[in-house]
């Protein structure tokens, strides 16, 4: 943890560094880790160091709030709050997602069916704006327009330096119930009923998500806080969480292990590196079995084209990276799965229900309506004669036909006009002109679609 005095010094340092960047040189925020999948060539623009803005400042168990520097990882934040019996309302699945990244980009987890997205429990944002000011934005002050537009702005309006968030009470354990379904429509209906009633078999429900393995094998996982447990499973070693639901319908985890149940194997993506093979797994140091290590391996592969070279050498067809999180209304979730399994086919797929608790400018989900986030991540062989973007463009089209929305942390292919229609350009541009009138930061389309 750090002090507010130390934080203020770090704020002055980054403001001075930002002011020293020459006009015409695009600033880039240098972070120790990233969970973005918009790969681009190394930029020549000046980099702003965030190394002194990655600590928890204060946890207040009385008001159940925390003040956190923008580049603090959720791993560090959870480690600071759990000793007080508290956690952030929404803890994204991967340890090195930063609070600032989740607020200005996308974060979601199994509490989102009742608590929305991470920015919905934010009370205050301290922001370095594009025009170099340090502003404190809240929903009820003169910078409310910036506060409301900051989520999903991906650093195009400014950078979060300090964030005050609300915290929720926890219990030591989580009891899990894995419900199997063989029909997507029935699965979506059951998930909807559980989320709306917030209970299952007479018990209060605290967490809901799901996993799609195939058209006749999918699971809704219901989690309930517990003071005690008959045992606590460990999925940080030889056992693999995403496979466990296929062999047991009931499980127990400590709250910390529950929050990070997906991180050890990066959901199921560690299998691409052989880590789910028993021999490899037994030799792999535990400290390497985490999402940021796998993300670095993917980055190396992208920079050096290793997989593409191997595919060419073996005579395999070229592959497209299909790494996306999308949301569609839950009553259309079965339609999306039908499209997905017939046109993409890569499994498993993560299913996470969410409900926006109020309107936000740039991520226009219908307030109060229940959606399902479908997350799918991997490589898919391209059909003969098709070029890169074939699958991702089809997914974008299907999502919007189903009244859904797509996050922008990965590749996007929208035309400029449709992009601003989907992501509320009418709300974005007045805020952009107010807080970055000189255009020092890229706009949302240039950054998230053109990948500059």
Give the whole-angstrom CA distance, residue 131 versus residue 137: 15
Confidence of residue 123 (pLDDT cuts 50, 70, 90): very high
Give the whole-angstrom CA distance, residue 348 versus residue 214: 7
Give the whole-angstrom CA distance, residue 292 versus residue 288: 9
Helix pair angle (333-343, 184-197), 10° resolution: 140
Alpha-carbon Rg for the chain, nearest whole angstrom, is 21
Confidence of residue 259 (pLDDT cuts 50, 70, 90): very high
Query: What is the CATH code of the structural domain delimited by 305-413?
Result: 3.30.70
Q: What pLDDT, in 10s, does the model give residues 84-120?
A: 999 999 999 999 999 999 999 989 999 999 999 999 9
DSSP string, 197-237: HTEETTEE--EEEEEEEETTEEEEEEEEEES--S-----SS
pLDDT of residue 351: 98
Give the whole-angstrom CA distance, residue 123 versus residue 283: 45
Specify the DSSP element, H or E, that contains 371. Answer: strand 370-381
Q: Is 136 exposed, middle or buried (0-12, 13-18, 19+ CB in 10 A)?
A: middle
pLDDT of residue 295: 82
What is the 3-state secondary structure of 53-73?
Answer: CCCEEEEECCCCEEEEECCCE
Q: What pLDDT, in 10s, does the model give residues 420-452?
A: 999 999 999 999 999 999 999 999 999 999 876
Instruction: Please say if the pLDDT value at position 226 is more than 90.
Output: yes
Q: Is 220 exposed, middle or buried (0-12, 13-18, 19+ CB in 10 A)?
A: buried
Q: For residue 293, which phi and psi values (nearest 5 degrees)? A: -65, -45
As a residue count, the chain comes to: 452
Confidence of residue 40 (pLDDT cuts 50, 70, 90): low
What DSSP designation does 25 have? Answer: -
Mean pLDDT of 39-66: 80
Q: What pLDDT, in 10s, does the model give residues 143-166?
A: 999 999 999 999 999 999 999 999
| CATH fold group of domain 4-170 | 3.30.465
State the pTM of this model: 0.92
Q: Are 412 and 321 in contact (CB under 8 A)?
A: no
What are the sequence ranges of the domains in the chain? 4-170, 173-261, 305-413
Q: Token pair for residue 195?
A: 């989320």
Is the torsion defined by CA of 148, 450, 398, 90 positive or negative? negative
Quick one: which of 104, 135, 136 has its CA closest to 117? 104
Q: Token pair for residue 142?
A: 């003169």
Kindly report whether the peptide bond that precedes residue 245 is cis, defined as omega within 30 degrees of 0: no
């Amino acid at each position: 943890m750090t002090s507010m005095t130390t934080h203020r010094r770090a704020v002055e340092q980054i403001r001075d560094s930002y002011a020293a960047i020459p006009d015409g040189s695009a600033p880039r925020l240098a972070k120790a880790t990233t969970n973005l999948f918009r790969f681009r060539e190394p930029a020549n623009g000046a980099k702003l160091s965030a190394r002194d803005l990655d600590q928890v400042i204060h946890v207040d168990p009385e008001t159940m709030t925390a003040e956190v520097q923008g580049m603090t990882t959720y791993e560090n934040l959870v480690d600071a709050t759990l000793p007080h019996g508290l956690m952030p309302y929404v803890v994204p699945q991967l340890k090195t997602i930063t609070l600032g990244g989740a607020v200005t980009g996308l974060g979601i987890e199994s509490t989102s069916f009742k608590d929305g997205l991470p920015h919905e429990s934010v009370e205050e944002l301290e922001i370095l704006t594009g025009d170099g000011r340090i502003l404190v934005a809240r929903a009820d002050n003169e910078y409310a327009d910036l506060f409301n537009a900051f989520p999903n702005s991906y650093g195009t309006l400014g950078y979060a330096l300090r964030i005050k968030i609300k915290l929720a009470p926890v219990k030591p354990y989580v009891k899990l119930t894995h419900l199997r379904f063989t029909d997507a429509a029935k699965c979506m209906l059951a998930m909807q009923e559980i989320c709306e009633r917030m209970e299952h078999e007479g018990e209060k429900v605290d967490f809901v998500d799901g996993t799609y393995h195939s058209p006749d094998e999918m699971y809704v996982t219901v989690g309930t806080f517990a003071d005690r447990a008959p045992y606590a499973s460990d999925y940080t070693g030889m056992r693999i969480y995403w496979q466990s639901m296929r062999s047991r319908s009931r499980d127990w985890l400590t709250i910390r292990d529950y929050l990070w149940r997906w991180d050890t194997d990066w959901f199921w993506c560690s299998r691409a590196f052989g880590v789910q093979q028993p021999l490899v797994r037994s030799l792999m140091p535990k400290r390497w079995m985490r999402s940021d290590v796998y993300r670095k391996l993917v980055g190396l592969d992208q920079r050096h084209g290793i997989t593409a070279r191997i595919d060419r050498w073996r005579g395999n067809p070229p592959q497209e990276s299909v790494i996306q999180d999308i949301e569609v209304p839950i009553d259309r979730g079965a339609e999306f799965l039908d499209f997905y399994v017939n046109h993409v086919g890569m499994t498993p797929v993560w299913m996470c229900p969410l409900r926006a608790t109020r309107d936000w400018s740039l991520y226009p989900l219908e307030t109060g309506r229940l959606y399902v986030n479908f997350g799918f991540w991997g490589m898919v062989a391209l059909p003969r004669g098709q070029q890169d973007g074939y699958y991702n463009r089809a997914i974008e089209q299907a999502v919007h036909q189903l009244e859904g929305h797509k996050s922008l942390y990965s590749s996007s292919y929208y035309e400029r006009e449709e992009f601003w229609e989907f992501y509320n350009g009418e709300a974005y541009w007045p805020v952009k002109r107010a807080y970055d009138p000189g255009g020092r930061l890229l706009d949302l389309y240039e950054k998230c679609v053109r990948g500059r």
